[in-house]
Structure 1
Amino acid sequence: MYRIVIVGGGIAGLAAAWELVSSAPDVEVTILEQTDRVGGKLRREEVGGHLVDVGAEAMLALRPEARHLIEEIGAGADLVTPATVAASVYSYGALHPMPPRSMMGIPQQPGDAAGILSDAEVARLAAPEPLPPLESDASVGDYVAAVLGDAVVDRLVEPLLGGVYAGQARKLSLAATMPQLYARAVAGEPPVAYGTQKHEATSPGPKPPPATPDSEKLSAQSPSPFIGLRGGVGRLPEIVADAVRERGVQIRIGVTVRGIAPQPAGGWGVGGGGG
């Protein structure tokens, strides 16, 4: 029997507990959380008699980890796609609709970016620069700029990706934030195959790789790049906490961990204070 202590009851600690009890049900897991509740940055507060998110409000549908966790604990029916008014981008002195079905700002058709981009920038977008297969990770901004031009990064990718990750596109990992685009880059393929769809459908030769179940489910159920949870994303740590408690995990709140030290008899000891 192993005893495992997880320091911190945010969503990372809760997800780690779930993975442990799912893969090794004979382990004894305890979560120690310093504050008066689990969840960390994901939480809800009452506003006007309603519980609303005061942390993250949505999750990226392109990243499957959170969706898989929700489905594994039996709450898949509570996944929802946000319904919002169309987003706009202010460019060249006017508001323009965000191109439909864009991949984190990269349009599916070059003409969809007209107005946001100048005619010359649209033409640059329509002619992706061929690059050799990517051998290691790169920043989203640097890669997209090299292939599609700086304007696509500055006026389309940056407003979306930078807002989601609260960072700059030229400092964000392509592999971590846009895994689908990273996979195409590693294969030496452009972000979008402009003008080749009909040709690919009728011409002989290698076919593109089949869609994975995840990608099929995403395209069928979640056209939005975001997904949410009924009741708010702040509900996620609450339902994961309930799920791990059912598997025997102990969650102790109000406990501050001040040190971790090896023990003479083996293992590690956790020192702190509180409950």
Structure 2
Amino acid sequence: MSRPWRVAVVGGGIAGLAAAVRLRDRAPAGTEITVYEQSGALGGKLRTGELAGQPVEFGAESFLMRDPAGGESAAVTLIRRLGLAERIVHPTVGQAALAVDGGLRPVPGGTLVGVPGDLERVATVAKPAADADRDGGRPLLGPDEDVAVGTLVRARLGDEVVDRLVDPMLGGVYAGRADDLSLVTTMPALARAARVEHTLTGAVRAAQAAAPRAPGAPVFGTLAGGLSTLVEAAATASGATIRLHAAVRELAPIAHGWRLTVGPTRDPELVEADAVVLALPARPAARLLAPIAAEVATTIGGLDYASVALVTLALPDPELPALSGFLVPATEGLLIKASTFFTTKWGHLARPDGIALVRASVGRYGDETSLHLADADLVATVHRELSGVLGVALPAPLASHVQRWGGALPQYAPGHGDRVAAARTALRAAHPTLVLAGAGLDGVGIPVCVRSGETAAGEIIEALGGSGS
């Protein structure tokens, strides 16, 4: 007797929810989808809160509008699918700054995550090495080569370009160091160009030309009302059964699929499914994989993460520059690594009463002792450092919020992509109805996570044969 498919999605972040929506759209009618989320809320690092009576993001604040090929990003496509396109808003102020030598300097244009395509344009912030970027007569990278971003840029352009430009740009996204992060994973377009071009500046220009942006076209977007509206809409559109406070503790293969052990040890619930999407951070995924695919678990579980804290202040009538925010090189010795002037950057959040929302990010990979400070001490330190960088005494905050994200940002060492591809190949061969998704494997950012979840859903549909059984 035929019956509907039963698919379990383990992890209720945006990757898991995107997988659930794709399954609902493309799996056979009647497919039963259940999303298991260990915490009490969906969305993962997408979390809209409220401060001083106004919505504000306590996690990711925006998404890229375009994909690496220049088309619409997966996030925008999903937003359209969910009927939220009219809520997309863009920054009203796009210029950011770098905090260097005790002051703010505009981030130079023409760079790719801080790597310059024109050395003259970055000279006001960082001086390239005297013999920078000479043509050596061959491509910068071999066909399958991956290196740390810092290794390549230091060798071609010198230390200042890395320390003052590339490192703070990467640190703002990954809370990591350029000297540790994979070029292929964090800057795939530049890596592709580096396999052809003989100079780094030439590779930057080639990567930019491969995905041209129309003049004035917005790079980033967010949603009026907050990114939690995306989470809520995806959960609804998926038609999935949502299980919160439902930790999946074990996975076991059975004759026609999988048995999941859900809930507390003393009172476990056993659930059967035909297929499973594991949309979890790397280490929790590895723990579930260990009994059934030990080598895959070892590979996936080897990924390290950085922890960060986001400190948001509501300030009455502060003197803020006309900037979206600023980045701080580690060489400046500040606790803050980045700051966003929310009510300046996002015009739809501007308030007639003059209250400004300012957020600062704290915590760098390998140097996270600052995160042990109490909330009140973090707030005081951030307030003091903001005043110092801006050169004005900021007013005391009317309200503040500290959001701690422990183990939030993956640190992709060189070779990450190859390791993940090999792990997925091995898992597919042994267990085709168990598929991995999420930032730990495919990269950070909402579009990448959406695409990861959608790809996993497609693999599940293919593995189950494209129709119910």
Name the amino acid aligned to 2:14: I
Q: Which has the higher contact order (CA 8 A, sep 6+)?
A: 1
Partner of 1:238: 232
Structure 1 residue 78 corresponds to structure 2 residue 87? yes
Partner of 1:13: 16
**TM-score, with length taken from structure 1:** 0.76
Within 5 Å, which residues of 2 pair with 1:74-223? 74-84=83-93, 86-92=95-101, 94-118=103-127, 121=128, 124-125=131-132, 127=134, 131-132=138-139, 133-135=141-143, 136-193=145-202, 215-216=211-212, 218-220=213-215, 222-223=217-218
Name the amino acid aligned to 1:230: A
Q: What secondary structure sits across from 1:159 in the alignment?
A: helix
**TM-score, with length taken from structure 2:** 0.47
Distance in 2 separating the partners of 1:67 and 1:123: 43
Name the amino acid aligned to 2:13: G
CA RMSD of aligned residues (A): 3.2
Structure 1 residue 56 corresponds to structure 2 residue 60? yes
Q: What secondary structure sits across from 1:83 in the alignment?
A: coil
Distance in 1 separating the partners of 2:135 and 2:230: 40
Partner of 1:22: 25
Name the amino acid aligned to 1:269: R
Structure 1 residue 229 corresponds to structure 2 residue 238? no
Distance in 2 separating the partners of 1:88 and 1:189: 30
Q: Per-residue displacement from partner, 1:107-151 (whole Å, max 9, x unpaired)?
A: 343222123223xx2655575666524322222222222333332
Q: What secondary structure sits across from 2:116 in the alignment?
A: coil
Q: Per-residue displacement from partner, 1:46-69 (whole Å, max 9, x unpaired)?
A: 222222111111234565443343
Q: Per-residue displacement from partner, 1:243-264 (whole Å, max 9, x unpaired)?
A: 212xxx222223232222233x
Name the amino acid aligned to 2:181: L
Structure 1 residue 273 corresponds to structure 2 residue 263? yes
Equivalent of residue 4 in structure 1, options 2, 7, 16: 7
Distance in 2 separating the partners of 1:60 and 1:139: 24
* Residues 1:46 and 1:96: Cα distance change in structure 2 (over 3 Å): closer
Distance in 1 separating the partners of 2:157 and 2:200: 9
Q: What secondary structure sits across from 1:271 in the alignment?
A: strand
Structure 1 residue 255 corresponds to structure 2 residue 258? no
8 Å CA contact 1:256–1:273 kept in 2: the answer is yes
Distance in 1 separating the partners of 2:111 and 2:81: 29
Distance in 2 separating the partners of 1:67 and 1:3: 28
* Residues 1:4 and 1:220: Cα distance change in structure 2 (over 3 Å): farther
Distance in 2 separating the partners of 1:124 and 1:102: 20
Unpaired stretches in structure 2, ≥5 consecutive residues:
68-72, 270-469
Number of equivalenced pairs: 253
Distance in 1 separating the partners of 2:138 and 2:81: 39
Distance in 2 separating the partners of 1:50 and 1:251: 28
8 Å CA contact 2:34–2:242 kept in 1: the answer is yes
Distance in 2 separating the partners of 1:210 and 1:92: 30
Partner of 1:200: none
* Residues 1:209 and 1:89: Cα distance change in structure 2 (over 3 Å): closer
Distance in 1 separating the partners of 2:48 and 2:96: 25
Per-residue deviation at 1:92?
A: 5.0
Q: Per-residue displacement from partner, 1:210-260 (whole Å, max 9, x unpaired)?
A: 967xx34x4456454x43333333433222222212xxx222223232222
Name the amino acid aligned to 1:170: D
Unpaired stretches in structure 1, ≥5 consecutive residues:
198-207
Distance in 2 separating the partners of 1:174 and 1:16: 27
